[in-house]
Amino acid sequence: MSNSKYYQLWTYMNAVAIIATLALLVVTAVFLYKESSLGGGRERLTGQAAFVAGSIGTEFIPLPVLEVISDLDPEGFPAPTVEPKTGAWKGGWVDLYGFLENRGDEETIPSREPALKSLLREDLRKQLPIGFSISYLRPTQPDPSPVAFVGLACAGCHSSRLPDRGPGGKLVYGAGNNALDLIGFFEAFRGLLIKRRYADVPALHATLKTARSITEGPDLDASVDPEAFEYVLSLSNVERARAQRTPPLHKLTTAQRLMVWYWIVGSRTAALSTLKKYDLPSTPSQLRSPAFNSTGPGRTKPFVTLVNSVLDLPARDNHGYSKIPAVFREGDRIWSQFDGSVRDHNTRSGLAAMTSGGSVHNLSGLGVADHVIEAASYTRTALVGPRWEQIFGQPSGGIPPNAGDDDESARLDATQRIGRDVYRKYCASCHGRPDPGRPNIWMTNHRDDRNFGKIFPAVNPATLPGAALSDWIGPLNPEEWELQHTDPERVAFRDSNRMPYILFTYFDQDHPHKSTREYFPLAHPLSVARDGIRNSGGYVSGPIDSAFSRAPYLHNGSVPTLAQLINLEPRPERFLRGQNAYDRDGVGLGNLPGPGGPKALYWMFDASQPGNLKVGHHYPWAPGDPKRNADELKALLAYLKSL
Amino acid sequence: MPDLKYFVAVEPRPGWPSLVQGTLSFVPFGLGMVAAMAAAEYPFEVTPNLRLYRTIYSAWLALALLIPALGLFIIRGIGPSWWNAWRLYWTFSFLAYAVHLYYAWFGLFESQLPLVSVHPELYGVGKGATTLDLVVAHQSPPIAYSNLVVSALWAIDTLLSWLIPGERGGRGGWALLVERWVTWAWVLASAVVSSVYFPKHLVSVVLGSAIVASIVLSLLVRISISILGNTAPAVAPNHVSAKKVRS
């Protein structure tokens, strides 16, 4: 070849390189334009709508996949039925994991505001359980998606039907869902991501056709080719399941297919790469056993998620359980959380969203950060718990609810008035009291209630000389502390002392000692001041309005009823948790299955296990106290119903 | 004593870049930009965030293209090829920077305005804050305004490099030469300070250090040329000097 031909070839090669690069740039530009035109976080809900239906960054599954999740994994996600009138899902996995089915225009407490009402009537959300959110945001990202993703709004955990989940149960926004097995649900979901089944269907291996966990994989049968196993969750399986529905569900667009595929690959990669940290997910049948799922229904392990995601540690020995709390009157709390560890309510809600899958990035974005702030504001200013008569249709005492107008004394019967005296003598100094003239106001600064909002230490103050917080209740003598302190696991786990500092740096934009790889360039809307987050070493004494709706009791949910909490009745060593019936006499969870589902859905709470201790808080009197007065306790219980 | 004229004197002989020069500058820019945009989609980082990581990756690309651009500036007077090479890398590094600026300004800051308007206190700004207020609050006034000035200077200088073929001896005269040196120095300082002095990632430190190294190398070349008196390296055959064009 002559020099001129080499030169010509070289020229062509250069031209091709330039044209190809130009073409790639054009394709990229078109892709970016299309991507930027997607919805993303443009929905901005406020107040109650944000609390019930707003995305808080917990997106975990595309809606088209959730719609056929039972077809993919009927063991982990039994098929729900569809309510013909509303199209809502009920029963099946909705019931198994304790979610609340959507009952259309039902009565709620507080009443649904118009914005929420129309949203739940017209939106895709109408088919999903209460508190599920839909957004066009990708999981953990503040970025738009062509396919709808489903997450949990605040109401997903903080809503319940009272007195129980039966047909007469009233939906109460803000009450903790005491039947919700959140850990179990997400364990089953993690299982779905890595579950495999035999792709072929020869008769010889017919038994292997059902989905299996990877521990039951091909190694059990040497004749089975490991390559013949496929992941249960794949784009083709999702599309096949959608097509096989009667009538078929809508076909996915190319962009949606791409997004679902991307999500499957990313989620599975994450699930597989974190197996060493989390271990294999429990199988659905194991999830009802405390040996595999030590949290159980109605509770979470908030710090496990934070240790997992922020410290990148397994937290296997963390037993810091927390019941899913009611979030009424949060504005009355100077420090949030059971342990009074976070001062700012926005940060509190942001951290709660983080424990359910939010990230520092998507929690800063539009359509998420504003929902977190709006929902926090709703719990702070507008969300008030129900009164007894709203739930049960009759007064807690002998007086009809409207007899005494706003005067508390006029609404209480004689027994309750005695109980009020007992309350004021033994309880009000820590928990505050209702305003006698304005029953919707909780007094947080009564001159006699000096310990309101203070911390009762759960770690022994004698072991921390000089380290006591200024708002610890005190001075406490060792005997009193020994008798009254409750389970310490939530505040005394291994990483508890460094966790506040780590979380502070997590949201702090420029902290030089940032311990995670996360980098956030702006002032984070959920950031917290260093003195606004702490390990309190104990539990905060807060308001107990609507006390009857806060069952079970103590921060770890170890005491089912108020009668047991005040030691009118003995506290049980073991009791069933799940869809319990409501015990009106004892005021709290009954130890019997409620009308919600079969006994198989129940979980045994063992109060002797770490983190489950039912000890402490022996007010007014400990069980063996010679001063214990059963009549006064009964009167106190009657009064507590009225709060 | 080195002849200082080599540091300021640039003959106006730009001509048009050769195809090879175009390939060597445009292809890295183009492929780098595609990679920067696409890489943000992939969860290399703990949490993907398209706008943030497109901002970061396009900044890395701009830094990478500044390595030859800032170095070539010093030796662009050697001949038309060098001048064109500088102009191409200068242009494409600016385009990469423009993408970085776009994602930072509109993607990171302006996209937060709806939330800022409701809760300005969370961002340390007042009511009715603008994107500029947000940028200033985040970067501090000296850095924010410096960045804005250097962005404008860089854009103008890039444009002038294509509109006015030359510096001292061209239509721009001394004013253009001064503008060019000021822009070069400001871009250099901004790039090195942001990547090395305020490092966010090891990659930016490496790129910033490479920029410094390229400057040092170019200075050595320029000094050696001025000492040895060799100012006429081979010129690519398709280059036409400005002198010829004028004649």
B-interface mutation test, from A30, A143, A267, most B Cβ less than 10 A away: A143
A64-74 residue pLDDT tens: 999 999 999 99
Task: Using a CB–CB cutoff of 8 Å, tell me whether A516 touches chain B.
Answer: yes
> At which residue do the structure tokens 């709806």 appear?
B114
CB atoms within 10 A of CB A179: 28
Q: Which pair of structure tokens corresponds to residue A239? A: 């599309």
Residue B114: closest C-alpha in chain A: A366
> Does position B241 have pLDDT exceeding 50, yes or no?
no
B138 and A523: CB-CB below 8 Å?
yes
Distance CA B25, CA B195 (A): 22
Sign of CA dihedral A549, A551, A556, A562: positive
A-interface mutation test, from B41, B46, B49, B109, most A Cβ less than 10 A away: B49
A521 and B119: CB-CB below 8 Å?
no
Largest CA distance in chain B: 66
Task: Using a CB–CB cutoff of 8 Å, tell me whether A525 touches chain B.
Answer: yes
Distance CA A312, CA A276 (A): 11
Distance CA B93, CA A580 (A): 66
At A501, the pLDDT band (50, 70, 90 cuts) reads: confident
More confident residue, A544 or A464: A544
A21 and B37: CB-CB below 8 Å?
no
Task: Using a CB–CB cutoff of 8 Å, tell me whether A8 touches chain B.
Answer: no
Q: Which pair of structure tokens corresponds to residue A115? A: 């914005």
CA of A559 vs chain B CAs: smallest distance (Å): 39
B114 and A522: CB-CB below 8 Å?
no
Look at residue A203 in the predicted model and tell me its pLDDT.
43
Calculate helix-pair angle for B19-39, A3-36, nearest 10 degrees: 30
Average of per-residue pLDDT across A229-247:
91
A373-407 residue pLDDT tens: 999 999 998 899 999 999 998 877 766 655 555 56
A517 and B50: CB-CB below 8 Å?
no
B-interface mutation test, from A38, A59, A138, A141, most B Cβ less than 10 A away: A141
Look at residue B226 in the predicted model and tell me its pLDDT.
82
Helix (H, G, I), strand (E, B) or coil at A299: strand
Helix (H, G, I), strand (E, B) or coil at A329: coil
Which residue of B47, B55, B118 is in closest CB contact with A370?
Answer: B118
More confident residue, B165 or B203: B203
At A436, the pLDDT band (50, 70, 90 cuts) reads: confident
Task: Using a CB–CB cutoff of 8 Å, tell me whether A32 touches chain B.
Answer: yes
Residue A24: closest C-alpha in chain B: B34
A-chain residues near B201 (CB < 8 A): 519
Average of per-residue pLDDT across A268-297:
88
> Does position B236 have pLDDT exceeding 50, yes or no?
no
Q: Which pair of structure tokens corresponds to residue A275? A: 């197996």
Q: What is the DSSP letter of A311?
A: I
The percentage of residues in chain A with a pLDDT greater than 70, rounded to a whole number, is: 88
> Does position B243 have pLDDT exceeding 50, yes or no?
no
Which residue of B19, B109, B111 is in closest CB contact with A11?
Answer: B19
At A150, the pLDDT band (50, 70, 90 cuts) reads: very high
> At which residue do the structure tokens 């595999």 appear?
A292
Q: Which residues are paired to A136 by β-bridges?
A: A40
B115 and A517: CB-CB below 8 Å?
no
Task: Using a CB–CB cutoff of 8 Å, tell me whether A14 touches chain B.
Answer: yes
DSSP one-letter string for A611-640: T--------S--TT-TT--HHHHHHHHHHH
CA of A429 vs chain B CAs: smallest distance (Å): 35
Among the ranges given (A113-122, B6-15, B129-138), the one the predictor scored with the smallest mean pLDDT? B6-15
Q: Is the ipTM of this complex over 0.85?
A: yes
A144, containing H or E segment = strand A144-152
Q: Residues of B near A (CB-CB distance < 8 A)?
A: 19-20, 22-23, 26-27, 30-31, 33-34, 37-38, 41, 43, 45-52, 55, 108-109, 111-112, 114-115, 118-119, 122-124, 134, 137-138, 200-201
Look at residue A423 in the predicted model and tell me its pLDDT.
95
The percentage of residues in chain A with a pLDDT greater than 90, rounded to a whole number, is: 49
CA of A385 vs chain B CAs: smallest distance (Å): 28
A-interface mutation test, from B45, B60, B122, B140, most A Cβ less than 10 A away: B122
> Does position A479 have pLDDT exceeding 90, yes or no?
no
CA of A383 vs chain B CAs: smallest distance (Å): 21
Residue B135: closest C-alpha in chain A: A522
CA of A131 vs chain B CAs: smallest distance (Å): 23
More confident residue, A484 or A513: A484
A360 and B47: CB-CB below 8 Å?
yes
Look at residue A596 in the predicted model and tell me its pLDDT.
52
Q: Which pair of structure tokens corresponds to residue B9? A: 């004197």
Task: Using a CB–CB cutoff of 8 Å, tell me whether A140 touches chain B.
Answer: yes
CB atoms within 10 A of CB A445: 8
Sign of CA dihedral B52, B53, B55, B60: positive
A323, containing H or E segment = strand A322-323
Peptide bond before residue A247 is cis, with ω within 30 degrees of 0: yes
The percentage of residues in chain B with a pLDDT greater than 70, rounded to a whole number, is: 82
A322-375 residue pLDDT tens: 999 999 989 998 898 999 999 888 888 888 888 888 888 888 888 888 899 999
> At which residue do the structure tokens 């009291």 appear?
A433
Please report the number of interchain residue pairs, chain A to chain B, with beta-carbon separation below 8 angstroms.
Answer: 102
Task: Using a CB–CB cutoff of 8 Å, tell me whether A609 touches chain B.
Answer: no
> Does position A200 have pLDDT exceeding 60, yes or no?
no
The percentage of residues in chain B with a pLDDT greater than 90, rounded to a whole number, is: 50
> Does position A53 have pLDDT exceeding 80, yes or no?
yes
DSSP one-letter string for A469-509: -TTB-----HHHHHHH----HHHHSTTTTTHHHHHHHHH-T
CA-to-CA dists, residue A281 to A185, A295, B4, B79, B196, angstroms? 11, 14, 72, 67, 44
Q: Which pair of structure tokens corresponds to residue B196? A: 């090395």
SS (H, E, C) A516-544: CCCCCCCCCCCCCCHHHECCCCEEECCCC
A366 and B111: CB-CB below 8 Å?
yes
Average of per-residue pLDDT across B149-170:
86
Q: Which residues are paired to A336 by β-bridges?
A: A342
Distance CA A565, CA A556 (A): 13
Look at residue B42 in the predicted model and tell me its pLDDT.
78
Distance CA A575, CA A556 (A): 14
CB atoms within 10 A of CB A300: 22
A361 and B47: CB-CB below 8 Å?
yes
Peptide bond before residue A142 is cis, with ω within 30 degrees of 0: no
Task: Using a CB–CB cutoff of 8 Å, tell me whether A16 touches chain B.
Answer: no
Please count the CA atoms within 13 angstroms of the CA of A167 that sit on its side-chain side.
0
Burial class (CB in 10 A: 0-12, 13-18, 19+), A321: buried
Q: Which residues contact B123 (CB under 8 A, 6 or more apart)?
A: A522, A523, A525, B112, B116, B129, B134, B137
A525 and B124: CB-CB below 8 Å?
no
Distance CA A307, CA A358 (A): 14
A18 and B19: CB-CB below 8 Å?
yes
Distance CA A199, CA A527 (A): 48
CA-to-CA dists, residue A52 to A109, A167, A350, A558, B188, angstroms? 12, 21, 15, 27, 52
B-interface mutation test, from A372, A522, A528, most B Cβ less than 10 A away: A522
CA-to-CA dists, residue A223 to A200, A205, B156, angstroms? 13, 10, 72
8 A C-beta contact, residue A392 and residue A169: no
Average pLDDT score over chain B:
84
At A517, the pLDDT band (50, 70, 90 cuts) reads: very low
A567-607 residue pLDDT tens: 999 999 999 888 888 999 999 998 766 555 555 567 889 99
Look at residue B10 in the predicted model and tell me its pLDDT.
53
Distance CA B8, CA B180 (A): 10
Burial class (CB in 10 A: 0-12, 13-18, 19+), A531: exposed
A-interface mutation test, from B25, B46, B58, B143, most A Cβ less than 10 A away: B46
- Phi–psi pair at B199, nearest 5 degrees: -70, 140
Among the ranges given (A291-305, A512-526, A578-592, A606-620), the one the predictor scored with the smallest mean pLDDT? A512-526
> Does position A130 have pLDDT exceeding 70, yes or no?
yes
A521-555 residue pLDDT tens: 566 788 888 888 888 889 999 899 999 999 999 99
Residue A372: closest C-alpha in chain B: B115
More confident residue, A637 or A516: A637
CA of B136 vs chain A CAs: smallest distance (Å): 11
A-chain residues near B137 (CB < 8 A): 523
Task: Using a CB–CB cutoff of 8 Å, tell me whether A255 touches chain B.
Answer: no
Radius of gyration of chain B (CA): 20
Which residue of A32, A516, A525 is in closest CB contact with B122?
Answer: A525
Which residue of B30, B115, B200 is in closest CB contact with A25?
Answer: B30
> Does position B13 have pLDDT exceeding 80, yes or no?
no
Task: Using a CB–CB cutoff of 8 Å, tell me whether A266 touches chain B.
Answer: yes
Average pLDDT score over chain A:
86
B122 and A359: CB-CB below 8 Å?
no
Q: Which pair of structure tokens corresponds to residue B180? A: 């060019």
> Does position B246 have pLDDT exceeding 50, yes or no?
no
Task: Using a CB–CB cutoff of 8 Å, tell me whether A17 touches chain B.
Answer: yes
SS (H, E, C) chain B: CCCCHHHHCCCCCCCCCCHHHHHHHHHHHHHHHHHHHHHCCCCCCCCCCHHHHHHHHHHHHHHHHHHHHHHHHHCHHHCHHHHHHHHHHHHHHHHHHHHHHHHHHHHHHHHHHHHHHHCHHHHCCCCCCCHHHHHHHHHCHHHHHHHHHHHHHHHHHHHHHHHCCCCCCCCCHHHHHHHHHHHHHHHHHHHHHHHHHCCCCHHHHHHHHHHHHHHHHHHHHHHHHHHHCCCCCCCCCCCCCHHHHHC
8 A C-beta contact, residue A92 and residue A78: yes
Taking Cα atoms as reference points, which of A140, A120, A146, A130 lies closest to residue A45?
A120
Q: Which residues contact A261 (CB under 8 A, 6 or more apart)?
A: A235
CB atoms within 10 A of CB A276: 8
A-chain residues near B109 (CB < 8 A): 522
Distance CA B179, CA B176 (A): 5
> Does position A217 have pLDDT exceeding 80, yes or no?
no
> Does position A321 have pLDDT exceeding 50, yes or no?
yes
Burial class (CB in 10 A: 0-12, 13-18, 19+), B163: exposed
pTM for the model: 0.88
> Does position A472 have pLDDT exceeding 60, yes or no?
yes
Q: Which residues are paired to A197 by β-bridges?
A: A230
Look at residue A505 in the predicted model and tell me its pLDDT.
79
Torsion of CA A116, A122, A123, A129, to 10 degrees: 70
At A85, the pLDDT band (50, 70, 90 cuts) reads: confident
A-interface mutation test, from B29, B46, B47, most A Cβ less than 10 A away: B47
Average of per-residue pLDDT across A413-441:
90
B139-150 residue pLDDT tens: 889 999 999 999
B182-204 residue pLDDT tens: 999 999 999 999 998 877 788 99
B60-89 residue pLDDT tens: 999 999 999 999 999 988 888 888 999 999
B51 and A142: CB-CB below 8 Å?
yes
Task: Using a CB–CB cutoff of 8 Å, tell me whether A359 touches chain B.
Answer: yes
Residue A259: closest C-alpha in chain B: B41
